[in-house]
Structures are given as C-alpha cells and as structure tokens.
Amino acid sequence: MATIEHWINGAGTGGVSTRSAPVFQPATGSRQHTVLLGEPADVDAAVRAATAAFAEWGQASLSQRTKVLFAFRELVNAHSREIAEIVSDEHGKVLSDAAGEVQRGLEVIEFACGIPQLLKGGYSDQASAGVDVFSFREPLGVVAGITPFNFPAMVPMWMHPIAIACGNTFVLKPSERDPSSAGFVARLWQRAGLPDGVFNVVHGDKVAVDAILDHPGIAAVSFVGSTPIARYIHQRATAAGKRVQALGGAKNHAVILPDADLDFAAEHLVASAFGSAGERCMAISAAVLVGDADHLVDLVAARAAEVKVGPGRDPASEMGPVITAAAKERIENLITVGERQGATVAADGRGLKIPGYEDGFFVGPTVIDRVTPAMDVYTEEIFGPVLSVVRSADVDQAISMINSNRYGNGTAVFTNSGEAARRFQRGVHVGMIGVNVPIPVPMAYYSFGGWKDSLFGQSHIYGPDGVDFCTRAKVVTQRWPATSAFSEASLHFPTAR
C-alpha cells in the first residue's frame, strides 16, 4: 500500500510527518493508499522553499513564464486520461466525468498562457507638463491554495496556473480524501521546466490548514469548500493580514416555468442533480416548479430510476459512489428526515447495493417531492444525489424563495420566454445564472464565484478576478527634466498643469 508524500522544493518527501490517514476507493469501500498528514514544520519547509524560489521566479520575464505555462498545458493534455483515472479511483466519479473535470482545469491553464496580455498596464503620456504616469501589476509572493475533495484536479488548477503565471510561488494543500492527483501534477510542472520550489504540495488536515493560515510568509490564501470552513478561513487568514478568497457552499435552485420544454428540463435536471453523485457546488439540488407541473416530477423520477450507478471505471456507469461511508450515511439520513417531515420520496436511492461492490459507498438518485423551505432537505447542503422538488405559484415567488436562501452560488431558469428569463436573471441575488443551462460554470476567461454565504471576501476565482487576486498594482508618476533646467518646487499639493 503506497504512502503519499508531500512535494517540497521539487522532490517527494515525508518531512516530519508522523501522522497519516487512509485513502479509500469509494467503489469498493477498501483502503487503497495512506496519505501523510503534514505538521506546521512541513508547511514551514514548503513556504521556505517557495520564498527562496520567488526571488528568481518573481523576476522571471513574461516570455520565460509563458514558455513554462505552454509546456505545462501540453503535458496536462497528454496525461489527461491518467489524471482522470487517479481522480476516478479516489473520488469515485465516473471516468467521463473526471475527464471533464481535467478539461475544465486545462481551460484555466490555457487562460493563464495569455498572461502577457492580462498583465498589461496603462500609460498616460504628458499627464502634466513633462510628467508621465503608468501602472503595472506585481506578484504577491507565496500564495497558498486549500482545495476540496469533489474536484481534486480541477479546483487546484483554478488556482495555481494563474498564481504561477503572475510570478508567484505556490503551496497547495489538497483534500486528504483524494490527494494523489496533486503529486502527479507537481511532477508535470517539473517536467515543464518550472524551477524547484515554485510549486509545492503539503498534505494534511486542520493542523496543516491552520499552519497555512497563520504562516507570516504566505501572502494570500485561496479556498474552495463548505461555508463554515470558508468563513473560518476568511476570518483567521485576514486576521493574520493575508489576502483571502474563500468560496463556500451552495443550495442551487432551478426554476421551471410553465412554458418550458418539460422533456428538456427533466433531462437536464437529472444530469445536473445526479452527475458526480451530486458532489458539486454547482449541482442543482432544488427544482422549483412554477404552476401545475406534476408531469415533470414523473419525468424526472422515471429518468432517475434509469441512471446507471456503478464503479467509476466501468464505461457503463453514469454515476459513481459518494466519497465516504460517513457521507453515504448522512445523505440517507437526510432523505429519511425529509420523509418524516412530510415530503414524498418519488425516487429512492437509499440502501443501494451494486453487485460485486456491496461495500461501496453508493447512494442512488433520489427525488423528494412536496418539499417546503422549512424542511432539512431544503435548508441543508446535502452534497449528494438528492433533488428536492418545491412548488411556487409564480416566477416572482420563485425569485423571492431563492433570494431568501442564505446561499447565492448558482441558479437556473428553464423557459421559452425572453422576458421571464431577463426578469429572473436581474431579480435573483445569485452570482452565476443559467438560462436553460443548469450548471452555469463560467468559462475560464470569466470568473467563478457566488454571493451571500457562498463567498467570503470580494474576489472570485480564476479569470480576470484571479489575476487581480494574485497581483497588486503599482502606479508610477515620473518626470525626466533636462539636466540644465531649473524647476522651483512648491509646498502646495501637486496639481496637473
């Protein structure tokens, strides 16, 4: 059984770690690896390596950086299937879904390859007599990323390519539940020509996280995960003087208006609710039916029953297991509580056993009808393959329901009315909106982020916001007088002339 080590200063290392944790294969329920849990000294070693590397990498030309970025892009693309297989084995998601994750991460790398254009500053010639003004952006130093289990390849790629392209060095703390892809990617960075120490990986739990948040050598922290942890990270890291972007949880609604194509809506609701076993912060977990739409519930429940659930490596599988036995138990308990509180289970995924994988962490696609905003299945972020169906009298009531929810990550509307869609997209207090698109994850040249309890801090991740987060601006006002000229200085506040 392999032990997954840290990656510090261009090499695998056990550091001073004496603690470890099991890494399971969710499809079988069996332990497949052991991962080291980093101590503060391991974090410090990574930060010291990153700090030393920043002295040169922060001064590297844009040409040097982009050369490495393009080579890294080619290596990730060439090894995308291997990365997807690692993700599938440790997370449980089906191989095609894991491949899609790698592809979306690759798009951010491609965006980062354009860093020379993204870092162009401004210039004002002759702003005052003989005075020019220009601006440019500089890297911060050491940037850290703390990433979740649900996208072990993609979410780190939302962070480190942009941070490194901007001239920073990076320390990644991936989820200890599915950590192997981080080390694989580290070796690709090295093969791409990235200097040792620019990209480092420290595995661990809360001990390593707190060491990152408190370390004086780290300038900025990027986080994606649950809302309670996002709030904690934002508070603790900002108290330590760091720049922080912390993306939290979600309760994403899809509103289905009476004029929508119900067959189209049902197909996409099933895909968005049950893809990756619902372990996505952009998954649709609440379908809001406007008016009489009982037929849609029947369509969704019937399609849910047809979803092929199985191990991620099986090409026939459409949905894999959830990440741990504890997650399976929590999801099934919430379904039971919803039933007790008066909801109707239209498709039941509890107690699912897959032949040959009886010990796997499987929960089948579940549809719960007649849910109200007071029920636990509505208020809790389930993070599993559970779709709650809520009723609404009209689109305005649906918008009010969404705005009353404490999360504001993503939402969608299914309609054939441009007027209704426009009213919806302007009325909801949500950061990412889809119109007949159930999972509106922005392209890499936009930025990803929600509102309310789905985001702490002001910065969204990747895209233009990612570049701004990883750099800080300087403005230079300069004059080059002739050596023979004499200019009398004034004590007054300077003004243009």
* Catalytic machinery residues: 281
Whether the CB-CB separation of 113 and 69 falls below 8 Å is answered with yes
Beta bridge partners of 101: none
Joined tokens for residue 98:
């894991």
Whether the CB-CB separation of 310 and 28 falls below 8 Å is answered with no
Q: Kindly report the length of the chain.
A: 497
Closest CA relative to residue 43, chosen from 17, 19, 21: 17
Task: Give the strand pairing for 386-392 and 407-408.
Answer: unpaired
Question: DSSP H helical segments within 257-363, as ranges?
Answer: 262-274, 294-306, 325-340
**What's the one-letter identity of residue 448?**
F
Sheet containing 30-37: which strands, arranged edge to edge?
Answer: 2-4, 30-37, 19-25
Beta bridge partners of 414: 256
> In a 10 Å sphere around its CB, with 0-12 CB exposed, 13-18 middle and 19+ buried, how is residue 429 labelled?
middle
Whether the CB-CB separation of 411 and 284 falls below 8 Å is answered with no
Question: Which positions ≥6 away from 492 have C-beta within 8 Å?
Answer: none
> In a 10 Å sphere around its CB, with 0-12 CB exposed, 13-18 middle and 19+ buried, how is residue 202 labelled?
buried
